[in-house]
């Protein structure tokens, strides 16, 4: 992981929502150097605080009053909370759409000026895999989950323009210990690179609303981060070391969305309830 030449001055208190999720569990330890106190929140049960540098708060993002209490006293928010897979719209609505509104309103009321929003590659999932995109490319969400992340990016833009709350929206590709399939060879984001990207997103001044694609230094990429160069994010890891293992898997059929669309199987999920 890229390190800075001088130690970062920790924030007094950082809030991490979605702390019981897959990435939340990873970030719980990795974010400690950047905060005197790390406030951890989720609707699901969390392991108790390990020491006085952690605060554990159960919170339903759909509950406006609870979110406003959650945000009080924090200096910056890393918003990873919400439903993270494609689901019926009604399940997405509370946490991902109402929840992101509650987070930004609470930030406004409590004077929080920096949010890191865990967006997703699924806001552009309907582009085909032979297309190359940057942050200026029109969004093409691939489902209700992608729509909710697109809405979150609009919320971030609005709250910067109107209230001066700065956001880095990270369109996370696929952040796992290693890429799980051929599609993830393009979209993989190592945990070390994610941590470095979060550090740069927290400390870089004057980000306005910056959209950055969260990917490692993979050999073949679909995304161009030229409009986020001011963040100083330089990925160090690459999916290439896993190529032999991944390419030992059977090749998907020619009409499989995993071979056609950047969003992979998400473009074909649902409809729900028919």
Closest listed residue to residue 85, CA positions, set 274, 253, 259, 264: 264
104 among known catalytic residues: no
> Is the omega angle on the peptide bond into residue 271 within 30 degrees of 0, that is, cis?
yes
Q: How far is CA 149 from the centre of its chain?
A: 9
Cα distance between residue 92 and residue 89, in whole Å = 5
The helix/strand/coil state of 261 is strand
Q: Which of 104, 145, 159, 261 is catalytic?
A: 145
Residue 238: is it exposed, middle or buried by C-beta count within 10 angstroms (0-12/13-18/19+)? Answer: middle
Give ∠ CA 192-261-251 in degrees, rounded to 5: 85
Count of residues in the chain: 274
Catalytic sites, residue numbers? 145
């Amino acid at each position: 992981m890229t390190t800075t030449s001088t130690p970062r001055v920790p924030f007094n208190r950082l809030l991490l929502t979605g702390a019981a999720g897959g990435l939340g569990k990873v970030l719980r330890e990795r974010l400690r150097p950047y905060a005197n106190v790390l406030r951890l929140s989720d609707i699901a049960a969390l392991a108790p605080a390990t020491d006085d540098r952690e605060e554990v708060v159960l919170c339903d993002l759909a509950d406006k009053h609870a979110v406003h209490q959650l945000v009080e006293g924090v200096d910056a928010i890393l918003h990873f909370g919400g439903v993270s897979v494609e689901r019926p719209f009604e399940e997405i609505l509370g946490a991902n759409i109402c929840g992101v509104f509650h987070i930004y309103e609470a930030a406004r009321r409590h004077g929080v000026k920096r949010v890191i929003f865990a967006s997703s590659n699924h806001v552009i999932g309907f582009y085909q895999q032979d297309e190359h995109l940057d942050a200026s490319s029109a969004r093409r969400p691939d489902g209700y989950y992608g729509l909710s992340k697109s809405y979150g990016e609009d919320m971030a833009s609005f709250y910067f323009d109107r209230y001066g709350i700065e956001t880095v929206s990270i369109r996370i590709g696929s952040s796992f210990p290693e890429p799980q399939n051929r599609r993830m060879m393009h979209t993989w984001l190592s945990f070390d690179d994610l941590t470095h990207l979060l550090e740069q997103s927290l400390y870089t001044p004057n980000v306005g609303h910056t959209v950055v694609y969260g990917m490692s230094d993979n050999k073949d990429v679909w995304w161009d981060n030229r409009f986020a160069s001011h963040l100083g994010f330089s990925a160090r890891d690459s999916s290439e070391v896993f190529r032999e293992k991944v390419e030992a898997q059977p090749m998907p059929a020619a009409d499989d969305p995993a071979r056609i669309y950047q969003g992979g199987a998400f473009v074909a999920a649902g409809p729900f309830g028919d």
